[in-house]
Chains A and B, each alone.
Chain A
Amino acid sequence: MENGNPESDDGPQRPTEPVSGYEDRGLVSEQAVAPTPTQPAARLTEDSWAIVLGVTVLVAALLVALASGDAIAGWFAQPGSWDSSQTSPLQSLIGKGVRPAWLGSLAAIAVIGTLGIPALLDRRGGAVGGGWVQTTCGYLFLTLLAVFAFVMAGEKVAKLYGLEYVLWALLLGLIISNTVGLPQWLRGAVRGELFIKWGLVLLGAEVLLGKLVALGIPGILVSWVVTPIVLMTTFWFGLRVLKIRSPSLVMVVAADMSVCGVSAAIATAAACRAKKEELSMAIGLSMAFTAVMMVVMPIGFRFAGVDDIVGGAWIGGTIDSTGAVAAAGAALGDRAMKIATTVKMIQNVLIGAIAFAVSVYWATRYETGDGDSAARRGSLVSEVWRRFPKFVLGFLAASLVASAIAWSGSSGETLVTTTVDSVTKHLRNWLFCLAFVCIGLETHIRTLLPAFSGGKTLVLYVVGQSFNILMTGLMALLVFGWLFRDAILEWLP
């Protein structure tokens, strides 16, 4: 990130030539990386693979859900929760669903492997990691680490404090890479960016635009007015006041903190091609503060006598992680939980718009290169298109199609809900878990320090979150406590 250059005071550094300085980026698009003479070019770009794989899974899942209805429930799963004080970790693999979790996990691993291994082989162009056998062995080893990450996250105390599987996946990868190193035979399967983009296309089907009207104008005011203001202010503060040199680091932290935690960080990091260390740093900060905020906020609101409806909206708009919002809201009461989760759901839907806006902004502002090189390659528009992360289009298309099906009527909404609940969200969880195992395996602890920017990243998060709490609190008081209070009381059971 810093490239050993002294920090300048004239704002963020922009790469002047699109290729140089980006080759080592964990989430870089392949358009920026030219194949080396010894490495044959891949037939499909990584973004194209992500779209093809994502769309294939979505279409197949919709068709199967259409044909089988509720019978598809439990086909796919991941290891679930277990109580370390009462049961063994094996309970995590048994689960509580209609079918055992291990069976659903095997199905998910088989589907991702069958579709993904050809993409892994194509992406590395046959130059790294051997053939089918070695790549398959590498993939199976990654899934083993992912299983451990899910089991670690499923422990009830870890789960209670919202310590998500991505944290443990990252930790397991980091432990291996920083002790015995990344084995050569594993290198062909370690493609975190492919898993992330594929997972994001699947996530698109969960971004249902119809959810925007769940709370009407009050929800939109808290989620869609405050969030972009906080995001842009934090971005400006990080670049201009703290003078952090990496705009992508600032953007990922700002999106993570202002939108919806891990999922927003992943989407934004892929959209602005942040380094894997920057994504890891943003997620680590977010989880640490989420674990504190989800305990402190309900206690503080009770102590201060904050109304449960206002408190619910306040929690929904400020706590990063979606699960932690539900838990903190529930600690304040049933009405608070309903308001908090609905506000957060509307904020979750915002990640589609944020990812698209960040992609366009980055393609026009940070990735175009200097004027001469742009002119050499043709018009600015074609250059922007060349730089645009195409997988975002797959993400948006999945969201639009799923929203249209859900909007078409109750049977359409049931179809989308069944598809997401039974198939795509499980596959998406596996893909994100595999991605974070890969990120950990490719990261050395030393490289995390520059992403901390000498403490500036922590300051950025604290200042941004404080501003978020202030703005959301004012808007929640105005909208949920005064302007629309009667309408909200009618809406609640």
Chain B
Amino acid sequence: MTEGSSPTKRLQPQRRRGIVALGLCVLGIVAIWGWVLPAIGSLASVRAAVQRTEGQGINAGAIFYTDVFYSLELRRANQLVDRR
């Protein structure tokens, strides 16, 4: 990362391009999570699928069997409240 004066001058446009590219990527992420996914999520078929998996407490993004039922803690907490 320590650069001399002439390599620094050469790298500056590259660095600017990097910052612009980073900004575009951030905009892309905001657009996908801010507009595209909400639009997909409001489709009736997708909404029904989300409700079905949520209703069964399934975490489709689980990487191990101990993660599968994501509402386990919630269920436990409710049981605890009921007991009290």
Contacts and interface: CB of A to CB of B under 8 A. Distances in A.
Contacts of B10: none
Nearest to A176: B22
A322 B64 contact: yes
Contact of B64 (A178, A294, A425): A425
Interface in B8-41: 15, 18-19, 21-22, 25, 29, 33-34, 37-41
Nearest to A422: B73
Contact of B38 (A85, A97, A326, A432): A85
Contact of A160 (B21, B34, B46, B64): B46
Given A152-B33, A156-B41, A206 B60 contact: no
Interface residues of B, number: 43
A330 B51 CA distance: 12
B64 to A, nearest CB: 5
Nearest to A418: B76
B60 A162 contact: yes
Nearest to A328: B60
A425 B33 contact: no
A157 interface: yes
Interface string A160-179: 11111110000000011011
A181 interface: yes
A203 interface: yes
A468 interface: no
A262 B62 CA distance: 10
A352 to B, nearest CB: 12
A201 to B, nearest CB: 14
A434 to B, nearest CB: 14
Interface string A278-309: 00000000000000001000000000000000
Interface string B55-84: 010111111111111111110110010000
Contacts of A331: 52
**Which range holds the interface residue count of chain A?**
35 or more
Nearest to B40: A157
A181 B18 contact: yes
Given A184-B1, A330-B52, A164 B63 contact: yes
B42 interface: yes
B25, B39, B73: which has the most chain A beta carbons within 10 Å? B73
Contacts of B37: 84-85, 155, 157-158
A162 B29 contact: no
A175 B66 CA distance: 31
Contacts of B60: 159-162, 294, 321, 323-324, 326-327
B61 A162 contact: yes
Interface string A72-84: 0110000011011
A322 B68 contact: yes
A73 B73 contact: yes
Nearest to A425: B66
B21 to A, nearest CB: 4
A180 B19 CA distance: 6
Nearest to A165: B61
Contact of B56 (A74, A211, A337): A337
Contacts of A175: 22, 25
B22 A322 contact: no
Contact of A432 (B18, B49, B63, B73): B63
Contacts of B74: 96-98
B58 to A, nearest CB: 5
B65 A345 contact: yes
B53 A330 contact: yes
A330 B50 CA distance: 12
Given A156-B41, A326-B60, A179 B22 contact: yes
Given A157-B41, A322-B68, A262 B50 contact: no
A97 B77 contact: yes
B16 to A, nearest CB: 10
Contacts of B67: 322-323, 425, 429
A323 B59 contact: yes
A85 B22 contact: no
B64 A179 contact: no
Contacts of B64: 203, 206, 260, 263, 322, 348, 425
A315 to B, nearest CB: 13
Interface of A: 70, 73-74, 80-81, 83-85, 89, 96-98, 152-153, 155-166, 175-176, 178-181, 184, 203, 206, 211, 260-263, 294, 321-324, 326-327, 330-331, 337, 341, 344-345, 348, 420-422, 425, 429, 432
Given A70-B76, A263-B63, A322-B63, 18 more contacts: A83-B50, A96-B71, A97-B77, A98-B73, A155-B37, A158-B61, A160-B46, A162-B60, A162-B61, A179-B22, A261-B63, A321-B61, A322-B67, A323-B58, A323-B60, A330-B58, A425-B66, A432-B63
15 contacts: A80-B70, A84-B37, A85-B37, A98-B74, A161-B60, A180-B15, A180-B18, A180-B19, A322-B62, A323-B61, A323-B67, A326-B59, A330-B53, A330-B56, A425-B66
Interface of B: 1, 15, 18-19, 21-22, 25, 29, 33-34, 37-42, 46, 49-50, 52-54, 56, 58-74, 76-77, 80
Give the top 7 A-B pairs by smallest Cβ distance, nearest first: A323-B62, A179-B22, A327-B60, A345-B65, A85-B38, A98-B77, A179-B21
